[in-house]
Amino acid sequence: MKIGVMVESFRAGLEGGLRAAAEVGADGVQIFATAGEMHPDNLNAPARSALKRRLADMGLELAAICGDFGGYGFQRQEDNPRRIEGSKRVMDLTLDLGCKVVTTHVGVIPSQASHPRRAIMAAACEELARHAASVGGTFAIETGPEPAEVLGNFLDDVGLPEGLGVNFDPANLVMVINEDVSAAVEMLGRYIVHTHAKDGLNLKPVDAEMLYNAFAEGGIEGMHVGDYIREVPLGEGMVPFKEYLAALRKALYDGYLTVEREVGPNPRADIELAVKFLRNLLRGA
């Protein structure tokens, strides 16, 4: 397995984040492409070629692109045409940059197969999967809002494994639903094409839908997210990383472990320690 870093986690801009990723010893990077200079509208063909050269010169691979447009994902029918079109353009950009994986949140998948929102989400994901498969890429749904079993059943129902996969984030699973990470890997292993290396704590039970609605709406009156979940540096939370990596190996996953640090006053220091932490685990230290 290789170690990646989410460029935005450094909070240093694109160029600063790329330099920092190389300096901390990452093998590759993941970059957001839904706003700013990385948005497909703002990255023409010469700029795309220049970015590929820049990555190569720094000894970095592109592990994945983040195509998350925020909000409610693909839960709302009226929003989906615009979001689907934007996601397709992000996929096309990703392929132009020599990468095949776009990660995204799709929203909270209902556990009931008959729930009307599930059909709306499935239709959107099917269209995205067909586009991805047609160009040789994969849209990877990030774990977190729902149990692994629900996500696995949803993917099976969509039925297009060539274009749809999983971005496995163990911290989301332990923080939000306190799920057994190794069992979740076993359940989703055939779909995993990228992972996040993140850690966290579940402080008290929380309704996943309410929590993700708070993220989508920028907060809900009377709900303090920090009372329920807390992201912490790697090795300081509830993710059993040694067992997690063993489960990934058993599932024959050999891709990227991409460090994501969304909070904290000194992200660079946390990321550098995370890279060392993972490198030691991969070497069997």
Alpha helices in 179-251, H assignment, sequence order: 181-188, 208-217, 241-250
Q: In this structure, are residues 160 and 130 in contact, taking their beta carbons and an 8 Å threshold? A: yes
The DSSP bridge pattern shows strands 61-66 and 192-197 to be: unpaired
pLDDT for the residue 224: 78
> Residue 13 in 3-state DSSP?
helix
3-state secondary structure of 228: coil
- Counting residues of the chain whose pLDDT is more than 90, the rounded percentage is 86
Query: pLDDT confidence of 234, banded at 50, 70, 90?
Result: very high
> What is the torsion angle, in degrees rounded to the nearest 10, for the CA atoms of residue 39, residue 43, residue 48 and residue 52?
-50
Mean per-residue pLDDT, 214-228: 72
pLDDT band with cut points at 50, 70 and 90 for residue 145: confident
Structural domain boundaries of the chain? 2-282
Question: Whole-number mean pLDDT of the chain?
Answer: 94
| pLDDT score recorded for residue 65 | 98
pLDDT at 209: 84
Q: Which residues contact 193 (CB under 8 A, 6 or more apart)?
A: 101, 138, 140, 165, 166, 167, 255
Q: Which of 30-39, 86-95, 201-210, 214-223 has the lowest mean pLDDT?
A: 214-223
Q: What is the pLDDT of residue 264?
A: 86
Q: Are 261 and 270 in contact (CB under 8 A)?
A: yes
Task: List pLDDT tens digits, range 92-138.
Answer: 999 999 999 999 999 999 999 999 999 999 999 999 999 999 999 99
pLDDT tens per residue, range 167-204: 999 999 999 999 999 999 999 999 999 999 999 999 99
Question: pLDDT value at position 215?
Answer: 79
Range 47-62 average pLDDT: 97
How many CB atoms lie under 10 A from the CB of residue 135? 14
Pairing, β 101-104 against β 2-6 = unpaired
Q: What pLDDT is recorded for position 221? A: 53
pLDDT at 5 over 80: yes
Q: pTM for this structure?
A: 0.95
Tell me the two tokens of residue 80: 């989906």
CATH of domain 2-282: 3.20.20.150
Q: In sequence order, what E strands does 93-236 have?
A: 101-104, 138-142, 164-168, 192-197, 199-202, 229-232
